[in-house]
Structure 1
Amino acid sequence: MTIKPQGRVVGGTCQNSKLTNKLDESVYAYAKGVYWLELLKIKMVPKKWNKPTRNGTKVKFIYPQSQEEFDKSYEDLKKYAAEIDEQYGLGIVLVDGPAQKDGEPTC
């Protein structure tokens, strides 16, 4: 008799210890965008960003159950990148296409 597991993980919380409240606002905003993109690359969709603390920023995420959930988060990231670029003049350019190099965020 073979027992097959029932259920699946649909999300969770991770913490990025580098996104602290000690960072300059523009540096934090840029790093948040980079981390968001890294999460999407490993198919994790951020749903809620907690306020940064000295220990980092906690992010609640889901594993998307549809392409629409993934696409919406990517569109939200593009809007966020445009907003922080306008606010801080960071020169951010987010383009569609393959990653320049592989990497996974540390949760």
Structure 2
Amino acid sequence: MPGRVKSKCTTTALTKKNCNMIVTQIERRKIEFFVSTDIPLPEYCIGQLVEVFSSVSWDNPSEKRWFPARVTGMEHSHSKWSYQVQFLNCSGQGIEWVNPQDMWLLEP
């Protein structure tokens, strides 16, 4: 598996009273949100294609493989970012929260 690729989404941080305003460009739309200055910028952006190292089935959680997914949400808690992804090859809804160490960026 190749090394991680830096995100190409446009992200800008503007400081305002102990908060950073994050402006993210996602598929021709700009999304603005405020986060505390002690929170690092997210590694992935909503809408990006990623691969996720996840269990093949609930019956055998130790067997894991890489699956293509799209980032659909993000959350910062307990000093780290978590990402909500929707698996692309799933017959159901296929939405799961994952940690960034189990993700690789597919699109540069």
Counting helix residues as a fraction of each chain, which structure ranks higher?
A: 1
Q: Where on the TM-score scale, by shorter chain, does this alignment land: which range?
A: under 0.3
TM-score normalised by L of structure 2: 0.24
Counting strand residues as a fraction of each chain, which structure ranks higher?
A: 2
TM-score normalised by L of structure 1: 0.24
